[in-house]
Amino acid sequence: MNLSVIWDVFTKILDICFVWIAFYYILKNVKNNIKMVLIVKGVLVILIVKLLSDIFDLYTVGVILEYAIQWGPLAIIVIFQPEIRSVLESLGRTQLLGRHKVLTVDEREKVVYEIMRAVEYLKKNRIGALIVIEREISLEEYIKNATKVYADISESLLETIFFPNSPLHDGGVIIQGNRITCAGAVFKTSMNPNVSKRLGTRHRAGLGIAEESDAIALIVSEETGRLSIAVDSRLHYNLDIDQFRMMLIDELKPKMEVFFEADESDGEEE
């Protein structure tokens, strides 16, 4: 095997790897974007109908669908430009090696302790709050337009930020690692049609950032004091305090740690 053959094999493997990486990130972001999922479903329906029209020789339907397929990509780009831009922005914000600080067990316990102490107080006094914890996807877009804090997480600081007379009360807090980076952050609200109309802006904003990134959004309802967590494009509504705490702990665990725990549990004898 000479050098040219080895180089040819290497370039083909590299080509396939790039294609699979592109598909992976496209599918990952499509999954987290409700409107993009609807686009994909619509395209699949058109292709299935076109296939059926060819099988059953439906001439008129076939001609119409040929025009739709021919001009469809251009129409999708024009009509769904904001959604496509959102996916591309999300890809741009994703950093392959990650950017968030990996917390030690002690640091993670302190973060959970301070957040839970604040959440219990906010729930008891029915003070609305939105706390967003950044993970792999950067939230710099929202941080740059918010009020910078750069302080260690503490119960008293969170309670002060969300105090009803505070000018930062209506916005969200963004946490990076074990520090509060900013307050008063404004997030895009979710456009998911399946979300109950009874939910207010705070819940929709929390779900919106969970649809757009891999962040964890902790929500305290101002009207009812109910606790919710939005993560992975899903809103877990009206959790009790123990459910809320356990879900927060699970979501804060590093992925490798979760993987090793799963392996250890699989190896246990019954």
Buried b (16+ CB within 10 A) or exposed e, 92-128: ebbeeeebbeebeeeebebbbebbbebbbbbbeeebb
Separation between Cα atoms, residue 6 and residue 16, nearest integer Å? 16
- Using an 8 Å Cβ cutoff, are 206 and 112 in contact? no
Spell out the residues 6+ positions from residue 21 whose beta carbon is closer than 8 angstroms to its own: none
Indicate whether 30 pLDDT > 90. no
The closest alpha carbon to 244, from 165, 137, 89, 131, belongs to 131
Residue 161 has pLDDT above 70, yes or no: yes
pTM: 0.65
Q: Please say if the pLDDT value at position 24 is more than 80.
A: no
- pLDDT of 91 > 80? The answer is no
Tell me which of 54 and 174 has the higher pLDDT.
174
- The reported pLDDT for the residue numbered 160 is 95
Residue 86 pLDDT > 90, yes or no?
no
Q: What is the DSSP letter of 94?
A: B
Rounded to an integer, what distance in angstroms lies between the CA atom of residue 39 and that of residue 211?
16
In the predicted structure, residue 180 carries a pLDDT above the cut 90: yes
To the nearest 5 percent, what fractions of the chain are helix, strand and coil? 55, 15, 30
CA atoms within 13 A on the CB side of 36: 19
The angle formed by the CA atoms of residues 228, 197 and 44, to the nearest 5 degrees, is 95
From CA 212, how far away is CA 106, in angstroms rounded? 30
What is the 8-class DSSP label of residue 139? -
Helix or strand (DSSP H, E) at 78: helix 59-79
Local structure of 145: helix, strand or coil: coil
Domains of the chain, each with CATH number or no CATH: 3-93 (no CATH), 105-258 (3.40.1700.10)
**Does residue 241 have a pLDDT over 60?**
yes
> Using one digit for the tens of pLDDT, what is the confidence trace for 145-159?
999 999 999 999 999
Supply φ then ψ for residue 199, to 5 degrees: -75, 140
pLDDT at 117 over 90: yes
3-state secondary structure of 175: strand
- At residue 172, does pLDDT exceed 90? yes
CA distances from 115 to 51, 150, 159 (A): 54, 16, 10
pLDDT value at 20 more than 90: no
Q: What is the pLDDT of residue 259?
A: 46
Write b or e for each residue in 143-165: b if 16 or more Cβ atoms lie within 10 A of its Cβ, otherwise e. Answer: beebeebeeebebebbbebbeee
pLDDT at 120: 97
